[in-house]
Amino acid sequence: MEDRSATLLCPFPGARRRRAPVRTFGIVLAGWLAAAAAPATTAAAAAAAAAAPAEWRFTVRLDGKPIGSHRFVLAEGGDGGLAIRSEAQFDLSLLGVALYRYRHRAEERWAAGCLAAIDARTDDNGRLTEVRGQADGERFELQVRDEGRPAALPAVPAGCLMSFAYWNPALAGQKRLLDPGSGRVEPVAIAAPPAVPADLNALPQPVRGLRIGGLAQPIDVWYAGDRWIGLDTIVGGGRRLSYRLR
């Protein structure tokens, strides 16, 4: 029988709940995020950074070697809110032999600073997860299908919900975030990161960041001004996963 626990690459924290593969090249990626610098982000800065239209194209590297890309497109929604679309693709190979394939796409609608709807699909090396949700007043109705079967998840807490929206500086004030890869609402703790990476510190514009804790591994997110420019986290085997804006 095929071992579905062999998750190698997945950029969302829910994947860390699965058992890692017994392989020397195995890597388990954590989730993502977004936000502002150490002092609290003002409402004006958050509005400016999340203004549509906007686009982010990232090169994704593992220990400095390119393994794929992730693209985000932010636009104005027809109802006066915001619409964000993202697509990711990672491929891992060894000596020309394909070891792992990851594909993810998500569409989100935002209203009044909160997630209003989500439709996400993740193909994690053949394991398919679908996440769909819709805000209904103070509630967020969520449906998750794992390998075509409904997945049982805890109820989503009432109130304004956010996903791992790295582009949105208001995320810096959140204590829980919806993982679009698993449909889980993850508790998070946000603090200042220890240091800016050397390649980003060399940029002409000052770089600031935040650290998303409370996950299996913390994730450091980087900004030049209010623009999201990068992400770093340590994955399985002590390897570094990095996003850098093209």
* In the chain, % of residues over pLDDT 70: 79
Find all residues with CB under 8 Å of 77, minimum gap 6, and list them: 83, 109, 110, 111
Find all residues with CB under 8 Å of 185, minimum gap 6, and list them: 154, 156, 157, 161, 176, 177, 178, 179
pLDDT at residue 13, as a whole number: 67
pLDDT at residue 14, as a whole number: 57
Which of these ranges, 27-31, 114-118, 163-167, has the smallest mean pLDDT?
A: 27-31
For residue 20, what is the DSSP state?
A: P
- How far is 18 from 31, CA to CA, in rounded Å? 14
Mean pLDDT of 168-192: 92
Alpha-carbon distances, residue 14 vs 18, 112, 153, 176, 209 (angstroms):
8, 27, 12, 13, 23
Q: Distance of alpha carbon 135 from its chain centroid, rounded?
A: 20
CB 212 within 8 A of CB 190: yes
| Confidence label for 169 from pLDDT (cuts 50, 70 and 90) | confident
The first and second tokens of residue 60, run together, are 């994704």
Find all residues with CB under 8 Å of 152, minimum gap 6, and list them: none
CB 213 within 8 A of CB 36: no
3-class SS string, 88-141 = EEEEEEECCEEEEEEEEEEEEEEECCEEEEEEEEEEECCEEEEEEEEEECCEEE
pTM for the model: 0.79
Mean pLDDT, the chain, whole residue set: 81
- How far is 177 from 136, CA to CA, in rounded Å? 18
pLDDT at residue 77, as a whole number: 83
| Confidence label for 48 from pLDDT (cuts 50, 70 and 90) | very low
Find all residues with CB under 8 Å of 241, minimum gap 6, and list them: 11, 27, 29, 30, 60, 61, 62, 231, 232, 233, 234, 235
| Confidence label for 91 from pLDDT (cuts 50, 70 and 90) | very high
Strand, coil or helix: 57: strand
pLDDT at residue 154, as a whole number: 78
pLDDT per residue as tens digits for the range 59-76: 999 999 999 999 999 999
Beta bridge partners of 155: none
| Confidence label for 34 from pLDDT (cuts 50, 70 and 90) | very low
CB 210 within 8 A of CB 31: no
pLDDT at residue 22, as a whole number: 27
CB 67 within 8 A of CB 240: no
pLDDT per residue as tens digits for the range 107-121: 999 999 999 999 999
Backbone region of residue 24 per phi and psi (left: phi > 0; alpha: psi in -120 to 50; beta: other values): alpha
| Confidence label for 51 from pLDDT (cuts 50, 70 and 90) | low
Q: How many other C-beta atoms lie within 10 A of the C-beta of residue 47?
A: 13
